[in-house]
Amino acid sequence: MTQRYPLRKVRNIGIMAHIDAGKTTTTERILFFTGITYKMGEVDEGTAVMDWMALEQERGITITSAATTCYWENHRINIIDTPGHVDFTAEVERSLRVLDGAVVILCGVGGVEPQSETVWRQADRYKVPRLVYINKMDRVGADPEKAIEQLRTRIAANPLVIQIPLGREEKFRGVIDIVEMKEIDWGDDLLGTKFEVKNISDEYKDEAQEKRNEMIEQLSDMDDLLMEKYLDGSEIPPEEIKQVIRKATNSLDLVPVIFGASFKNKGIQSLLNAVIDYLPSPVDIPPIQGHHPRTNNVETRKASDDEPFSALVFKITNDPHIGSLSFIRVYSGKMKVGSSVYNATKGEEGRVARILEMHSNKRKDIKEAYTGDIVALGAMKNFSTGDSLCLRNHPLILEQIKFPEPVISAYIEPKLKREHSKLAESLAKLKKEDPTFKIKQDPMTGQTLVYGMGELHLEVLMDRMEREFGVSANLGRPQVAYKETITALSEGEGKYVRQTGGRGQYGHCKIIVEPLRRGLGLEFVDDTRSGVIPREFIPYVIKGIKEAVETGVIAGLPVTDVKVTIIDGSYHEVDSSSIAFKIAGSLAFKDAMSKAKPILLEPIMSVEVVASDEYLGDIVGGINSRRGKIEEMDMRKGSRVLKALVPLEEMFGYATILRTLTQGRGVFSMEFFRYGTIPTPIMEEIIAKMEGRVPAHR
């Protein structure tokens, strides 16, 4: 039986960063120092515990978020190690939704990199308190001051430096803790298990006192009592400082900053202490809110085992032995093996067969899950990411997880014709696991199209399909996933009337469509009066519209950024049916959209190019010729860093071009920024190509 920890001694944290900042290495060290593993795994050697997939070990990157549990200083820490590559951003998104706190790792050399900004914005959206761990202090070119300044300038953070690094590059040996006013020295111990905590050396005393005063001045703005003591010149105990830091961290007013070199095993113990001291427990975060599925009233659940059970499914994986595994975060109440659980999102009830405590891809059966736990349920049918679990007599639907839309597509077909059904089955399983992976039939050719977040995303999914399901497939050349939207307000009407002897079909509705700001997606409003359409048929009108939205009127592409308001309609006492109103909704949307000046949208990418100054002119010229817009130029350790917004269509093959321009010295990274309007001449060209089904790469 697993020891039950009080809620105040539980931490649910994520480890997030830009690719190659050292997330998985740091997590491996945490597992070693907390006694969960007896040998440190290495990403470079393909032995990392958290990168358990063969693909992850081969490529040396994290693809799926892995959950594990460890224990430190009589606290239970549930950790999710998330991917750094932008193609797998959905894994970060779903993890942040269920975490209470996060450790954001920055590279001591690279500082705040593009994906660091992305994960920071995601954490802001979910209001997740975080602390910053500046890693790789042992690397040549480590510049922690630059990284701290970038926290302020690039992501508008309020960093609170609570340590001073002892040396840097090959001389980095430890830190000075300016809260406790102690020196923590790992010296030359390669394993990192031996370190000395001692009084601050004379050579650092003045600097430490000065930095401590700066820290307390910054904290005084957050706490009047601390300010009084500071102004009086009173001695302030470390525990009081920690309480103020914790409070300000949890209210998102500041971000504690610490230092380390995970690969050299320096700084992990102080990182674990900071997680316990400053990041929130489940009782420190506001009670979870949701709505009652029938009354739609807002309801809250406090973090307590005595409250009615509520949990969120945040991840589904396929396990070869168990089948489907549903990862859940328990927000309130508790759940036992053999008890019934109600899926409020789908209106279905099922019995809990297995509860599993996860350690990467290994698992341990447990009998009960409590508030604050992150566990997996085995063999629960029909669960999906984002489903709300509760008790039937206390139903609650929690806020859904929002995922970014896929930006590229490709045709797919099995290598062997007889494997068509096996391919469809495998794709369906992968789609259930990954909400950013979508499948669709091309209405013109009948071929299967797959959509993803980037070329690497689709490559990895194809590789997984072959390894896990034994299906080999040919993937066509990736194409941009364009969308359609409208630029004007218009009205549409849909009427479906059929009389075929006996009972007929009758559905009729009127709608208004109007454009929404970019990135807002779709919005549906029922503004009908006095029962012109009976209540029970409104969901079917919306269902019909949602189906019509999948294939717009210009090129049969998905529609986005549109508000649809149902304003009127009529019904027949006998002939009206759900199917008739669904068809009427679809017809009304097509009618309204065709009159609302529809246009195409394309994915715009945020691109960062790093190269020597001598190549700047050629790089800028190349970006401009790709319809790019230069946003910012900066210097980083002797290299020029250029940030730009460029349409995705123009970025295919850019890696080869940049290598040629910079004699192999330039590197770039890109991530999805938003969908943007396409200039009319290029839109016409794209439509012509799509009608001829020619890949839209110029």
**Which of the two residues, 358 and 247, has the higher pLDDT score?**
247
pLDDT bucket at 49, cuts 50 / 70 / 90: very low
The pLDDT tens digits for 418-456 are: 888 899 989 988 888 888 888 988 766 778 889 888 787
Q: How far apart are CA 78 and CA 524, in angstroms?
A: 38
pLDDT bucket at 356, cuts 50 / 70 / 90: confident
Residue 622 has pLDDT above 90, yes or no: yes
Poorest-pLDDT segment among 86-95, 108-117, 530-539: 86-95
Residue 503 three-state SS: coil
Residue 459 has pLDDT above 70, yes or no: yes
Q: What is the mean pLDDT of residues 587-591?
A: 96
Q: What is the mean pLDDT of residues 50-62?
A: 43
Q: Which runs of E-coded beta strand occur in 471-589?
A: 473-475, 479-480, 483-486, 490-498, 505-515, 522-526, 562-570
pLDDT bucket at 1, cuts 50 / 70 / 90: very low
Assigned token pair, 450: 């797959």
Q: How far apart are CA 266 and CA 269, in angstroms?
A: 8
The confidence score (pLDDT) of residue 568 equals 95
Show contacts of 139-143: CB within 8 Å, 24+ apart.
139/107, 139/108, 139/109, 139/169, 139/261, 140/109, 140/169, 140/170, 141/109, 141/169, 141/637, 142/108, 142/109, 142/168, 142/169, 142/172, 143/108, 143/109, 143/111, 143/637
Poorest-pLDDT segment among 163-172, 210-219, 379-388: 379-388
Burial 275-313 (b: 16+ CB within 10 A, else e): bbbbbbbbbbbeebebbeeeeeeebebebbeebebbbbb
Poorest-pLDDT segment among 33-37, 47-51, 131-135, 245-249: 47-51
What is the DSSP annotation of 428-492? HHHHHH-TT-EEEE-TTT--EEEEESSHHHHHHHHHHHHHHH---EEE---EE--EEEESS-EEE
Which is nearest to 81 in space by CA: 56, 110, 117? 56
The pLDDT tens digits for 365-407 are: 889 999 998 888 987 878 888 899 999 999 999 987 777 778 8
**Residue 168 near residue 137, CB atoms below 8 Å:** yes
Q: How far apart are CA 83 and CA 392, in angstroms?
A: 36
The confidence score (pLDDT) of residue 37 equals 64
Residue 221 has pLDDT above 70, yes or no: yes
The pLDDT tens digits for 609-618 are: 888 888 899 9
Q: What is the mean pLDDT of residues 455-460?
A: 82
The confidence score (pLDDT) of residue 59 equals 43
Q: What is the mean pLDDT of residues 166-181?
A: 90
**Which of the two residues, 320 and 241, has the higher pLDDT score?**
241
Which is nearest to 160 in space by CA: 82, 61, 56, 248? 248
Residue 273 three-state SS: helix
Poorest-pLDDT segment among 82-96, 297-311, 327-341, 582-596: 82-96
Residue tagged 């060290």 (tokens): 29
**Residue 480 near residue 649, CB atoms below 8 Å:** yes
The confidence score (pLDDT) of residue 50 equals 44
pLDDT bucket at 239, cuts 50 / 70 / 90: very high
pTM, two decimals, is 0.71
Question: Helical H runs in 550-679?
Answer: 578-594, 616-625, 654-661
Burial of 322 per CB tally in 10 Å (0-12, 13-18, 19+): middle
Q: Other C-beta atoms within 10 Å of 636: how many?
A: 16
What is the DSSP annotation of 116-149? HHHHHHHHHHTT--EEEEEE-TTSTT--HHHHHH
**Which of the two residues, 66 and 399, has the higher pLDDT score?**
399
Helix or strand run (H / E) with residue 213? helix 202-220
**Residue 91 near residue 675, CB atoms below 8 Å:** no
The confidence score (pLDDT) of residue 44 equals 44
**Residue 358 near residue 70, CB atoms below 8 Å:** no
Burial 212-229 (b: 16+ CB within 10 A, else e): beebbebbbebbeebeeb
The pLDDT tens digits for 98-114 are: 889 999 999 998 888 87
Q: How far apart are CA 593 and CA 590, in angstroms?
A: 5
Which is nearest to 646 in space by CA: 606, 686, 602? 606
The confidence score (pLDDT) of residue 247 equals 94
CA distances from 134 to 14, 60, 257, 262, 468 (A): 16, 21, 7, 10, 37
In the chain, the domains with their CATH numbers are 7-175+254-278 (3.40.50.300), 288-398 (2.40.30.10), 408-476 (3.30.70.870), 484-596 (3.30.230.10), 602-691 (3.30.70.240)
**Residue 61 near residue 17, CB atoms below 8 Å:** no
The confidence score (pLDDT) of residue 634 equals 82
Residue tagged 């469809």 (tokens): 424
pLDDT bucket at 191, cuts 50 / 70 / 90: low
The confidence score (pLDDT) of residue 96 equals 80
The confidence score (pLDDT) of residue 360 equals 55
pLDDT bucket at 63, cuts 50 / 70 / 90: very low
Residue 697 has pLDDT above 50, yes or no: no
Residue 354 has pLDDT above 60, yes or no: yes
Q: How far apart are CA 613 and CA 593, in angstroms?
A: 49
Q: Using a pLDDT cut of 90, give the percent of the chain over it.
A: 41
Residue tagged 């029909």 (tokens): 382
Residue 460 has pLDDT above 50, yes or no: yes
The pLDDT tens digits for 465-513 are: 888 888 888 888 888 889 999 999 999 999 999 876 667 899 999 999 9
- Most confident of the following: 45-54, 381-390, 619-628: 619-628
**Residue 108 near residue 18, CB atoms below 8 Å:** no
The confidence score (pLDDT) of residue 637 equals 62
What is the DSSP annotation of 397-427? EEPPPP-PPP-EEEEEEESSGGGHHHHHHHH
Q: What is the mean pLDDT of residues 619-635?
A: 91
pLDDT bucket at 33, cuts 50 / 70 / 90: confident
The confidence score (pLDDT) of residue 116 equals 80
The confidence score (pLDDT) of residue 41 equals 46
